[in-house]
Structure 1
Amino acid sequence: MEKSERRPVTLAASLAGLRLIGAGAVLGLALAVPASPALADPPRPPATTQDAVDLDES
C-alpha cells in the first residue's frame, strides 16, 4: 500500500479549521440544550369594574 503525499498545512489554515470546529461544537450544544420555558404572566385576580358592582346592587 502506497503512502499518500503529505502537504504542509499553514498555521493560519490550521487555526481557521479549529475555529470552524469550535463554532460547530458551540452551535451543536446550543441546539441540543432544551430551551427554558417562557415565563408566564402571574394569574390576575378577577376584575371588578363599576358595571359589575352596579349589577350586584340591583
Structure 2
Amino acid sequence: MEKSERRQIPLAASLAGLRLIGAGAVLGLALAVPASPAQADPPRPPSTTQSEDAPES
C-alpha cells in the first residue's frame, strides 16, 4: 500500500475554516433554541374608582 501524500494547508486558510465552522455552530444553536415571547407589561386590575388625577365634578 502506498502512503497517501499530505498537503500542507496554510494557517490562514485553516483559521478561516474554523471561524466558518464556529459561525455555523452559533447560527445552528440560535435557530435550535425556541424564541421566547416578548415580555409584556403585567396585566393591571381594572380600576373601579375614579383616578386621583381626574377632576371631581
Bin the TM-score by the shorter chain. 0.5 to 0.7
TM-score (norm 1): 0.61
* Structure 2, unaligned runs of 5 or more: none
Structure 1 residue 42 and structure 2 residue 42: aligned?
yes
Paired letter, 2:18: L
Residues paired across the two proteins, number: 51
In the alignment, the residues of structure 2 paired with residue 46 and residue 34 of structure 1 have an alpha-carbon distance, to the nearest angstrom, of 33
* Structure 1, unaligned runs of 5 or more: none
Percent pairwise identity: 80
Q: Which runs of 4+ in 1 moved over 4 A?
A: none
TM-score (norm 2): 0.62
Comparing both structures, which one devotes a greater share of its residues to helix? Answer: 1
Q: Deviations over 1:29-54 (max 9, x none)?
A: 0111001222121112224355xx87
* Alignment match, 2:23: 23
Q: CA RMSD for the aligned pairs?
A: 3.0
